Amino acid sequence: MKKWLDPLATAWLGISTHKLRSSLTILGIVIGIASVITLMSIGKGATAQILSNIQSMGANLITISGGASSGYGGVRSAGGSTQTLTMEDAEAIAEQVSNVSAVAPSSSSNLQLVVGSNNTNSQVTGTTPEYMSVNNLKLASGAFFSEQEYERGAKVAVLGSSVAETLFGSANPIGQQMRMGTIIVTVTGVLESKGAGFNSPDDAVYIPLTALQQTVAQPRTAQGDRIVSSITLTVSDQAQTQNVIDAITNLLRTRHRLGVGVADDFNIMSVEELVSTLSTVTGTLTLLLGAIAGISLLVGGIGVMNIMLVSVIERRREIGILKALGATERDIWGQFLIEAAFLTFSGGIIGIIVGWGVALVIDLTGLMTTVVSADIVVLAVSVSVGIGLFFGFYPAWQASRLNPIEALRSE
């Protein structure tokens, strides 16, 4: 047998002699590591799901809304309460800011929709044809309204999937008419369901802004500009997102005649920014979950220490024999330390398998998405070995310090 294997073989003997005790000790670590892996995979899965939800809106999306902005942390006056954005702003952005691929101004109104005996209240968004591509909307059937329909103010509507189902049930809504506020509109398209989520389009109804103005009067500014509630746009080069935001801010401040020191009267939010903010939040949450699971790992570690202390007392005679045979304090210390690390390491490996399995089962049930990543696994293994070394240190030290004569005399 190779000499460097000797300590490992001895450690294995120490562990295999007390199989039940060692298994229970390992079980403590298994539970700790498995819960760390499972909980962190749930955290990571949730993060991934939230981010993909948001990114399905379009990762390069920028939304400008009216109203005072006071940045993070401040008290914000109700968004959109000050109507400051106009159609003319949207046109100026499209013409003057580079790296912008499409701009869609929109105004929303809560209107009653009636089809036969079914009726519902829905957020009706009047916008331009670009809105569909800007917001990454997908049609399940029919078509979004065209430039021509927009120009002539055609009374056509595209329904979110939930709205379509509420109003038309299983019938095909395409070509059907419905009453919207004071006008009658024809349904030309139904959107694909995106699932419940942030700002889900499932509950929305889209019509040409020119048509919305026929039932809801569009307010104008003192200068006669047509007010819209928000402007959405896409950035052609995502790397330029911040530059685009800066350019729009400058343009709008000039157009709105805001002097130096006056706060913006609009709010710019990019999905990219939202994603990074949410990533930070969910990252913290994942860590929190990991920390909670870490407590059970700590308890497992204390279990290892407990067993090692008992083991040192029980094996005093063996330690005495080894010392008489020439084992130095370092030899004994190393042997017990390796034993402790071996316990926690094997607990760690089994814990990873169990944790991974549980995460997989959770994922398969469809209740939650879980993601087990390599960094969690590496973390778990190193933490488990670290726990063995940390909690094995004191018992091993005690073992090494035993007086060989007294140790030999003990029963």
Partner 1 sequence: MIRLQDITKIYPMGNRELTVLWGITLNIEKGESVAIMGPSGSGKTTLLNLVGCLDTPTSGSYYLENSEVSRLSSGELAKIRGQKIGFVFQTFNLLPRLSALANVELGMRYCGGGDHHQALEALASVGLSDRANHRPSELSGGEQQRVAIARALVKSPPLILADEPTGNLDSRAGEEVISILTSLRSEQGVTLVMVTHDNNVAHHCQRIIHIKDGQVVMEESV
Residues that bind partner 1 (CB under 8 A): 1, 3, 6, 13, 17, 317-318, 320-331, 404-405, 408
Q: Which is nearer to partner 1, 272 or 318 (CB)?
A: 318
- Least Cβ distance, residue 309 to partner 1 (angstroms): 20
Nearest residue (CB) to partner 1, 340 versus 402? 402
By beta-carbon proximity to partner 1, the closer residue of 150 and 342 is 342
CA-to-CA distance for 282 and 35, rounded, in angstroms?
Answer: 18
- Residue 314, token pair as written in the block: 């029980």
Rounding to the nearest 10 degrees, give the CA dihedral for residues 233, 237, 239, 241.
-20
Q: How far is the CB of 332 from partner 1 (least distance, A)?
A: 9
Min dist. Cβ of residue 338 to partner 1 (A): 14
What CA dihedral angle connects 176, 181, 183 and 188, to 10 degrees?
Answer: -30
Of 404, 392, 348, nearest in space to 14 by CA: 392
- The count of C-alpha atoms lying within 13 angstroms of the C-alpha of 298, restricted to the half-sphere facing its C-beta, is 6
Closer residue to partner 1 in complex, CB, 248/402: 402
Sequence letter at residue 175: G
Nearer to partner 1, 155 or 315 (CB): 315
CA distance 335 to 14: 9
- Cβ 344 to partner 1 shortest distance, Å: 22
Q: Rounded to the nearest whole angstrom, what is the least distance from the CB of residue 331 to partner 1 in the complex? A: 7
| Cβ distance to partner 1 smaller for residue 300 or 320 | 320
Residue 397 CB, nearest approach to partner 1 (Å): 14
CB nearer partner 1, residue 2 or residue 257: 2
Residues in CB range of 88: below 8 A, 6 or more apart: 225, 226, 255
Question: Can you state the angle between helices 374-401 and 19-55, rounded to 10 degrees?
Answer: 150
CB of 319 to partner 1, least distance (A): 11
10 Å Cβ neighbour count for 150? 21
d(CA 367, CA 55): 21
